[in-house]
Amino acid sequence: MRRLEILDGMRGYFLVFMLLNHLAFAGGYLLVKVNHAELGFVQDAQGFVFLSGLLVGMVHARRMERKGFGDAAGKIWKRAGELYLYAMGCLALVLAAASLEPALLAYWQPWLGDLTPADGAMVGAAASLAYQPTYMDILPQYIVYLLAAPPLVWLCVHGRWASVAIGSAVLWLAVQLGVHLPVAEGVNAVLGTAGEGVRLRAAFNVLAWQIVFMGGLILGVLTATKRVEWQRVFTPERTGLVRLAVALLVFFLVWRVGFSFGLWPEAMAERFQAYEVRPEFSLVFLANFVALGWAVAWLLIAGPRSADARIRRAADLVGRPFQLPFLRLIGRHSLQVYAFHVPLAYAVMALDSHYGPFGETTKTLIAVTGVALLALPALAREADWRSLPGAGAPARADK
């Protein structure tokens, strides 16, 4: 399988589990527990953001080398504009539905917060991306990263990737130490002048989570410009770092199981949770993500060349899901599929609130149907519309 195909499969994998995690049923449901996040602290959003950065680096580094900064920057910034339209489309669809059926506001209040169709100030804050309803938060941060990406890609293309990496690490560390808090207070003070309750609302601190996207972007540029050869970095003989990665994953697995069954004393739990702040992508999440990323990359690249049959089987087992045509299909159109999943999750919450609570079988059927529906925007983008009477040329899947 080609490299981009397996990356599409990975993005599709993360999209499926994001949807499963975002479906809200009264009392929860069992299918969501069949999830890698139950075994540690690596979640789907992290992989999705990283792969997005990786592909930006891979695709636009080559374009920047061939056609210059202006052409690549124009493509990236155009993409940011398209994503803003997707974000506004999700927002408009949810608010329009709430305007037509007021009961939906009550169902969605935990996700919308103080946002209502009648509150112009709050709608304006949401349109500015300052106030982000639940699940409408990945696209805004991705827009910010795309706006910043062109000069960073240029620096990496011209050999200054270490400066980009250092800047990203310092920015992440600044968030961990709270340097951003006075800035957030100032922004909230300004937003508050627009109306009561208007404030910043986001599930992801864009200044902390950038380390995931920028890490992917740097590796993507290094790959595209052939400054790194992954077959040499990951070899069957070099097992020291992968052993360390597995040890870290086992260590955090023990913590995860302990939290699931309430095994840790309160003092220990409080100490651990100080480093487990998801919105700020704190140390626990960063360490887990790097460890799992290294282990999976080693298995996929070095594993098939290993003399140990057990490692070859493990590599095949890990890589097989990413070869599924369904996952590759939705992964090729990941951002459109992500935008589609937002109103889908809101629809399921309304369905459960109005007609539920459902039994476990019904919840599972709804969830599986939701996953299948993720193919709709991907199929629509790949459809050959020329077969329809009076239709023009089909939209290209890579645009």
How far is Cα 344 from Cα 246, in angstroms, rounded to an integer? 36
Assess whether pLDDT exceeds 60 at residue 385.
no
How far is Cα 377 from Cα 341, in angstroms, rounded to an integer? 10
CA 314 to chain centre: 26
Question: Taken in order 284, 289, 292, 295, is the CA torsion positive or negative?
Answer: negative
Residue with tokens 């009477």: 389
What pLDDT shows up at residue 396? 45
How far is Cα 110 from Cα 93, in angstroms, rounded to an integer? 17
Query: Is residue 346 domain-resident?
Result: yes
Assess whether pLDDT exceeds 60 at residue 2.
no
DSSP 393: P
Query: Is residue 102 domain-resident?
Result: yes
The pTM of the whole model exceeds 0.85:
yes
Query: Is residue 393 domain-resident?
Result: no
Query: Is residue 139 domain-resident?
Result: yes
| 383: confidence class by pLDDT, cuts 50, 70, 90 | confident
Query: Is residue 240 domain-resident?
Result: no
Q: Is 131 helix (H, G, I), strand (E, B) or coil?
A: strand
Mean pLDDT of 291-304: 95
Burial 360-374 (b: 16+ CB within 10 A, else e): eeebbebbeebbeeb
Assess whether pLDDT exceeds 50 at residue 1.
no
Output the six-digit token pair for 132: 């982000």
Instruction: Give me the percent of the chain exceeding a pLDDT of 70.
Output: 95
What pLDDT shows up at residue 224? 94
Query: Is residue 236 domain-resident?
Result: no
Mean pLDDT of 235-256: 95
The better pLDDT of the pair 260, 376 is held by: 376
pLDDT in tens, 51-102: 999 999 999 999 999 999 999 999 999 999 999 999 999 999 999 999 999 9
Residue with tokens 């002048």: 193
Taking the alpha carbons at both ends of the chain, their separation in whole angstroms is 22
The number of distinct structural domains making up the chain is 1
Q: Is 392 helix (H, G, I), strand (E, B) or coil?
A: coil
DSSP 220: H
Output the six-digit token pair for 159: 């050999």
Query: Is residue 235 domain-resident?
Result: no
| Structural contact between residues 179 and 242, judged by C-beta atoms closer than 8 angstroms | no
| Structural contact between residues 146 and 210, judged by C-beta atoms closer than 8 angstroms | no
| Alpha carbon separation from 33 to 21, 28, 217, 269 (Å, rounded) | 9, 10, 31, 22
Assess whether pLDDT exceeds 90 at residue 375.
yes
| Structural contact between residues 44 and 338, judged by C-beta atoms closer than 8 angstroms | no
Output the six-digit token pair for 274: 């100080």
Residue 131 β-bridge partners: 201
Assess whether pLDDT exceeds 60 at residue 302.
yes
Assess whether pLDDT exceeds 70 at residue 399.
no
Query: Is residue 119 domain-resident?
Result: yes
| Structural contact between residues 321 and 1, judged by C-beta atoms closer than 8 angstroms | no
Q: What is the DSSP string of 288-303?
A: HHHHHHHHHHHHHHTG
User: What domain range includes position 60?
Assistant: 3-230+252-387
